[in-house]
Chains A and B, each alone.
Chain A
């Protein structure tokens, strides 16, 4: 047996972070968001050792500004975010492209992680279009080892051309892991200093635009020769698959599955914007048709068509998302490429035996009930939403409820109560509520509740709240303060007492902040369910001005990590439980720790799942759920 014990798997995001370290990154910032969070997390762990500044910023725009300041001052910086965050940062980034980062030999890389299929996002937006919109050079790796090489190259390109470089990752890269060779982080001494003139003023914007285009045309020449853009396959293939990002490995898989290696070549593209038109057109001359495999939008596909058209190769057939051979939405998978190739080559491929499919359809499929998402046992959000539901029902005026981005979006999943009426972007709940609160003169009579978490509140809800106060809107803003950015892995935020690097940090006081802008602030414990219901009812009755209710209770996963105890031993008194006649705990509270005994219809506690929070003891109308202090 091999005695090498140091083997460990590296997550795509960890590889990206390590490559930044290997480039000698000095400053890293970001806002957590799946699938990007582990990049900053990994760098934060190494911050002290390598003398870096690493922070979780309040939002992506601030993160980008901080990273740009470092780069302008001659440091290497990295800013990381998910696709949705890029929209938040965009105002600054479009302007930064015009000024560039100067010639202090600094570098800035913008790492954006998209979420094709929207596994953990409200959208599957393809951020690559932004590279054109904001004049950013764009690199997109096809696998983990390429991600590492490309990240290092991104820093060098940024330094050489004095501009921010965009690096696009995606779920299946960021959250894949493999084993990579360790390398030494670079320790380059750099001193920060600024003496640049970087002011964009009216009219100057046009002049700077011209200079930016000039810079992009020089980068295009590099990309025409880039080793990240390369062809492999037969000299004169029947087809060339043009692929980028997640499409690269899927294309290789599909060619292998269908045995098309002698007929189909692969042009993999990694240096994408400015698009290497000549290289692509010259390569595609070898063949009569191309299939473009990428995710999510036909970004490469439209550029390929454009390149072919410019080169006069208008007869070459290009298939992909636009042609419908791969549907225009969703992540790229080996299955989808197999399907597109089978249709273009008229192959009849069956992944498994027909009889097997028949058995699955007939005997297995009917058993497969869905597994809906739900809050964890002991999650304070379950109690908060239960209380809001009770209060709104008692209020009786069909309140309108605007939500936000975090674990509380699970309200509109099977474990929740489907109370939210609107759910869009970070901080949008407060902005929408502010608008609804202005509609009284148009006959709007519903009370309005907006809800967000603590991290989301700091990210983008504050301007909306200030706007509402100043303009005389009226609604109840609930802040679920669970002391964590829970959905993405418990990162710190401005309300935390530690920062990303684990140092003691100044906590921004939610109560004081909200009162200082003119909101009336109430704080309650969601596990006091009756008290919370009463508080919400009273706040709804006030019906005037912006009221803030902070429901404060630490995320159960965070609590469990530090306390490692189950506070209460829960039991159901089978003499008192009315079972199916009642069902309040099972059908309304719906904690996975409470299950229905199929024989008696009564509730039971699942000791392997129950977190012992004790909240359910308050909701049983027959007082049949008991909690007993756990002494063990």
Chain B
């Protein structure tokens, strides 16, 4: 795989969705594979219902600033479609890969009608349009079927590994998930990972057909 160096990945979402865990898990696998990885995170006030994202700079040369320059994202992952699109508008370019959960989390101003949350179909269409490769997966739905919305991040992780957009193998990521999650929740999390991966496989097959 011929990667740009540095390779820049963004994992976005809404405070509390678990974007930091995704960033750290893939960061660990990449570091095991010999990459220098720096991660930037959002803490504090923004975690309270705000838009949050983790950034990963992946390189064989040196440690990079955790801040990704505008328009220089290579892979953009989102736990919420509006946030995926927000990150694409800032870091996207004609070669970017995007992967997003399909489930909206409404901003507080959209709850009482001060703002209108766009029709999710419009969001998916926009993501498809501005990303070279795009994958919209039902990560929250998968997680809810398995007993808890919080596992959406693991479903997205399974999907991400399956896109092959990053220099890592799905098995390596699954092993890291198994090591990281509490033993009592291991089976559900690995199942979420697997179903996330299947969702991407189905998308790729539909497109190929």
Contact = CB atoms under 8 A, between A and B. Distances in A.
A374 B48 contact: yes
B92 A360 contact: yes
A143 interface: yes
Given A120-B43, A359-B129, A4 B111 contact: no
A175 interface: yes
A35 B43 contact: yes
A249 B64 contact: yes
- Majority DSSP secondary structure for residues of A touching B: loop
Contacts of B129: 359, 363
B165 interface: no
B146 interface: no
A2 B113 CA distance: 52
A119 to B, nearest CB: 6
Contacts of A368: 82, 85-86, 89
A178 B28 contact: no
B65 interface: yes
Which of the listed residues B48, B64, B129 has the most CB atoms from chain A within 10 Å of its own CB? B48
Contacts of B109: 369-370, 372, 414
Contacts of B92: 352, 356, 360
Given A119-B46, A592-B105, A370 B115 contact: yes
A338 interface: yes
Contact of B70 (A351, A363, A583): A351
Interface string A105-133: 00000000000000110000000000000
A335 B90 CA distance: 12
B164 interface: no
Contact of B48 (A178, A410, A583, A595): A410
A278 B172 CA distance: 52
Nearest to A351: B71
A580 B112 CA distance: 9
Interface string B46-71: 10111100000000001111111111
Nearest to B24: A9
Contacts of B204: none
A338 B39 contact: no
Interface string A580-624: 100100111010101110000000000111000000000000000
B176 to A, nearest CB: 9
Interface string A362-381: 01110111111111100000
Contacts of B67: 172, 249-250, 253, 333-334
B113 A373 contact: no
B140 to A, nearest CB: 6
Interface string A551-585: 00000000000000000000000000000100100
A371 B14 contact: yes
Interface string B116-127: 111000110010
Which of the listed residues A250, A372, A488 has the most CB atoms from chain B within 10 Å of its own CB? A372
A192 interface: no
B107 interface: yes
Contacts of B140: 608
Contacts of B50: 371-373
A372 B14 CA distance: 11
Interface string A1-43: 1101101110000000000000000000000001100000000
B111 to A, nearest CB: 5
Interface string B157-168: 000000000000
Interface string B23-40: 010011001111011111
Contacts of A94: none
A588 B27 CA distance: 42
A279 interface: no
B186 interface: no
A369 B118 contact: yes
B106 interface: yes
Contacts, number: 211
A120 B42 CA distance: 9
Interface residues of B, number: 70
Contacts of A410: 45, 48
Contacts of B108: 372, 374, 414-415, 590, 592
Contacts of B16: 376
Contacts of B126: 363-364, 367
B164 to A, nearest CB: 16
A176 B39 contact: yes
A349 B6 CA distance: 18
Contacts of A594: 111
B49 A586 contact: no
A119 B116 contact: no
A351 B96 CA distance: 13
B42 A595 contact: no
A8 B180 CA distance: 11
Interface in A324-371: 333-335, 338, 351-353, 356, 359-360, 363-365, 367-371
B31 A7 contact: yes
Contacts of B34: 2
Nearest to A5: B179
Given A2-B32, A369-B118, A177 B42 contact: no
A608 B40 contact: no
A487 interface: yes
A407 B172 CA distance: 39
Given A351-B72, A371-B50, A414 B107 contact: yes
A517 interface: no
Given A2-B32, A8-B28, A351-B72, A34 B38 contact: no
A595 B116 CA distance: 12
B94 interface: yes
Nearest to B148: A608
A229 to B, nearest CB: 20
Nearest to A171: B43
B43 A175 contact: yes
A179 interface: yes
Given A1-B32, A375-B48, A586-B113, A177 B39 contact: yes
Interface string B86-108: 10110011100000000101111
Given A1-B32, A120-B43, 19 more contacts: A1-B172, A4-B32, A7-B31, A8-B28, A119-B42, A177-B41, A178-B37, A178-B39, A356-B130, A368-B82, A371-B83, A372-B109, A375-B49, A414-B108, A487-B44, A587-B114, A596-B113, A608-B149, A609-B105
Interface of A: 1-2, 4-5, 7-9, 34-35, 119-120, 143-145, 172, 175-179, 246, 249-250, 252-253, 257, 333-335, 338, 351-353, 356, 359-360, 363-365, 367-376, 407, 409-410, 414-415, 487-488, 580, 583, 586-588, 590, 592, 594-596, 607-609
**10 pairs of A and B residues whose beta carbons are closest in the complex:** A120-B44, A587-B112, A351-B71, A249-B65, A34-B44, A352-B71, A608-B149, A374-B49, A352-B93, A374-B108
29 contacts: A1-B32, A2-B34, A5-B179, A7-B31, A34-B43, A35-B44, A119-B44, A144-B38, A144-B63, A172-B40, A175-B42, A176-B41, A177-B24, A177-B27, A178-B63, A249-B65, A333-B67, A334-B69, A335-B69, A352-B93, A359-B129, A363-B126, A364-B85, A364-B88, A369-B115, A371-B51, A371-B107, A410-B45, A587-B112
Interface of B: 14, 16, 24, 27-28, 31-34, 36-46, 48-51, 62-72, 82-83, 85-86, 88-89, 92-94, 103, 105-118, 122-123, 126, 129-130, 140, 144, 149, 169, 172, 179
